[in-house]
Amino acid sequence: MVGLVSLVSVALFASSIWALPAARHSPPEGPLKLPLPDPGKNNLFCVVPFPVIQKLLCPRQGTSSQTTVTTPLGTAHGVSDTDGAARFAVKYGSASRWQESSVVSSWELPNGATDPTALPLTCPQNTTADSTMSEDCLSMILYVPPSVQSGSGAPTLMWIHGGSFIVGSATDPGLDGSALAAATESIVAVVQYRLGALGFMDPSGNTNLAVKDIVTALQFLQKVLPSFGGDTSKITLAGQSSGANMIRALLAVPSVSSLFQSGILQSDTMDYGFLNMDIQQTLQDFFNSQISCDPSDSECLSNLPLDDILNASQTLSDDGGDISAAAGLAEPIRPVNDGSFITSPLDSTAPFPQVSKPILLSTVLNEAMPTIYSEFTDPVDSSLYTTVVNVTFGTPRTERILTTAVYEVPQQTAAGTTVDARPQLSNLGTDQVWRCPTWTFARNWVQNGGQVFVGLYVVGATYPGNDQIPACLENGAVCHEDDIEIVFGTVPSPTSAQAALTQEMQARYSAFLRTGDPNTGSFAKWTPATTDDVHPLLLGGSGEASVGQCTTSYWGDFVQYDYQVFDI
């Protein structure tokens, strides 16, 4: 068996680097030389007539007036947007470096700000300027529409951003929750959490700090939601990519089950599984070797330069698959099944626990396309295709995959034509990492007591970064992250199909937040999954998706998932 070299081994491009505003990373054609905005302050690019730049650098413009709400933690200062929603940026938790977080004792604006229009600095990550990030980053942004402010008992959707656990923030493009809050008549809370080694690699061995940050955020909401008209028993966790992975981790934490009622998981990379303690220890030992402090020297660790930590974290992220084949190359830093906090792998490697929460699972049509077409910018011939599959899957999975019609080696169809196996690689990666393990998870959830609704987006909106990938711009393509702006209602100049799907998804989410069932109005019947048929609804299309190779006898059986191969 060759070490795990996933088809999405460069998923940092698909689910993290490309998730950032253009000014934070370097696209293939070279870096975009623009200064980063100072959160909460006017910026030159916010007043020039370039909509794309405004969208990337100025996602929260148009505030009109200040507003206050009295909470048990003190007076909340916010601003009312032009659409009427009130936005409150707040620090929800405090934590010393590599210590567990706790709920704040008083209402504070993020990062010591005095202006309620100020937005939180990001958690430390290698792709942002020092002036835009801070270790004091446990903040969230609450969006509260007028219909909720004047009433009580509204549900809350708490959104957890993606970014492969190493990048991202509550202010990423498209995450302005004003429209979503107004459409669903709910409170939308967009939360950020510690990333990379700061969130998962405490040198002393304590892990899952980032997951526990989300628990702290939930505990904060329990204290303040009634002041904004919210019902603390109606909190739904929602997130995309690693944000969805975070929700799956919390579903495996019995001690926090009472803090939320349901989950919405979009494009979770379920093939990877959680890490086990043996893999985590191997990664932890490597990380500790990269820093100049003894794990027991708390003073040294506290004074360690942030750049040293970020560099060591990046090295671990880059080399994770070489350090431990089971960790993989895509997300070697991720939640850990430690047996005490997270108590189950929630996959097919161990008995599945009894569950009860309703969940909604979705993937998009071309999840792996950004990765494949970024890694392979030229056509992939038959020989290279075979090599890639073999290096990725080893024996016996390669032989089984290549004898399957939809994944078999493409043949030249006419003299002079060029074989291009990238479509096969994209389909294979989508099935392997996202679609099929998600459907397997759905079956397991139903079999053990829960209700699940499964969807597949066949209409999307090109997310910033994906517009650098020609394949993602082709008619009908829906790439990883292209569902985000649909859900939030932040698509710039939406087509009629995009506008219709946004209206549908926001109506379905509104119903799900209240009842655990996304069926509402005159929209097509969304049938809940069973152990035999997951009934994947085509979101933006008509009817249900074909099963393809996501059957109980193929992925997870005839061809095992990575979490099965490596017993993680």
Higher pLDDT, 412 or 204: 204
- Rounded distance between C-alpha atoms, residue 395 and residue 233, angstroms: 49
For the chain, percent of residues with pLDDT exceeding 90 = 82
Q: Which of 481, 440, 442, 443 is closest to 460 using CA atoms?
A: 481
What is the per-residue burial (b if ≥16 Cβ within 10 Å, else e) of 218-237? bbbbbbbbeebbbbbebbbb
pLDDT in tens, 487-507: 999 999 999 999 999 999 999
Calculate mean pLDDT across residues 546-557. Answer: 97
Confidence of residue 51 (pLDDT cuts 50, 70, 90): very low
The pLDDT value recorded for residue 82 is 66
Tokens representing residue 14 in the block = 């698909």
Beta carbons within 8 Å of 508's beta carbon, 6+ residues apart:
518, 519, 520, 523, 526
The pLDDT value recorded for residue 1 is 34
The region, left, alpha or beta by phi > 0 then psi within -120 to 50, assigned to residue 111 is: left
- Rounded distance between C-alpha atoms, residue 397 and residue 471, angstroms: 28
- Rounded distance between C-alpha atoms, residue 446 and residue 549, angstroms: 20
Tokens representing residue 502 in the block = 């946004």
Within 13 A of 53's CA, how many CA atoms are on the CB side? 14
Tell me if the bond preceding 396 is cis, omega within 30° of 0. yes
Tokens representing residue 473 in the block = 């711009």
The pLDDT value recorded for residue 493 is 96
The pLDDT value recorded for residue 329 is 83
The pLDDT value recorded for residue 418 is 80
Q: Where are the domains of the chain?
A: 11-565
Q: Is the pLDDT of residue 454 over 50?
A: yes
- Rounded distance between C-alpha atoms, residue 364 and residue 538, angstroms: 10
The pLDDT value recorded for residue 43 is 36
Catalytic residue among 9, 15, 164, 241: 241
The pLDDT value recorded for residue 64 is 59
pLDDT in tens, 111-156: 999 999 999 999 999 987 788 999 999 999 999 999 887 677 999 9
241 is catalytic: yes
CB 560 within 8 A of CB 348: no
CA 111 to chain centroid: 24
Q: Which of 153, 133, 140, 66 is closest to 104 using CA atoms?
A: 140
pLDDT in tens, 459-482: 999 999 999 999 999 999 999 999
The pLDDT value recorded for residue 414 is 73
Within 13 A of 361's CA, how many CA atoms are on the CB side? 31
Confidence of residue 426 (pLDDT cuts 50, 70, 90): very high
Q: Is the pLDDT of residue 159 over 70?
A: yes
Q: Which of 162, 168, 128, 160 is closest to 37 using CA atoms?
A: 128
The pLDDT value recorded for residue 18 is 31
CA 46 to chain centroid: 27
Calculate mean pLDDT across residues 251-261. Answer: 97
Q: Is the pLDDT of residue 234 over 70?
A: yes
CB 478 within 8 A of CB 366: yes
To the nearest whole number, what is the mean pLDDT of the chain? 89
Calculate mean pLDDT across residues 524-548. Answer: 97
The pLDDT value recorded for residue 456 is 98
Answer yes or no: CATH 3.40.50.1820 is held by domain 11-565. Answer: yes
Separation in Å, CA 526 to CA 268, 439, 448, 540: 20, 15, 21, 13
Q: Is the pLDDT of residue 4 over 60?
A: no
Beta carbons within 8 Å of 353's beta carbon, 6+ residues apart:
252, 343, 344, 346, 448
Tokens representing residue 237 in the block = 């966790």
pLDDT in tens, 365-418: 999 999 999 999 999 999 999 999 999 999 999 999 999 999 998 887 777 678
- Rounded distance between C-alpha atoms, residue 68 and residue 149, angstroms: 11
- Rounded distance between C-alpha atoms, residue 142 and residue 216, angstroms: 15
Rg (CA), the chain: 22
- Rounded distance between C-alpha atoms, residue 544 and residue 435, angstroms: 14
Q: Is the pLDDT of residue 209 over 90?
A: yes
What proportions of the chain, in percent to the nearest 5, are helix, strand and coil?
40, 15, 45
With H, G, I as helix, E, B as strand and everything else as coil, classify residue 243.
Answer: helix
In sequence order, what DSSP letters do the residues of 109-133 get, joined into one string? -GGG--STTPPPPBPP-TTS-GGGB
For the chain, percent of residues with pLDDT exceeding 70 = 88
The pLDDT value recorded for residue 410 is 86
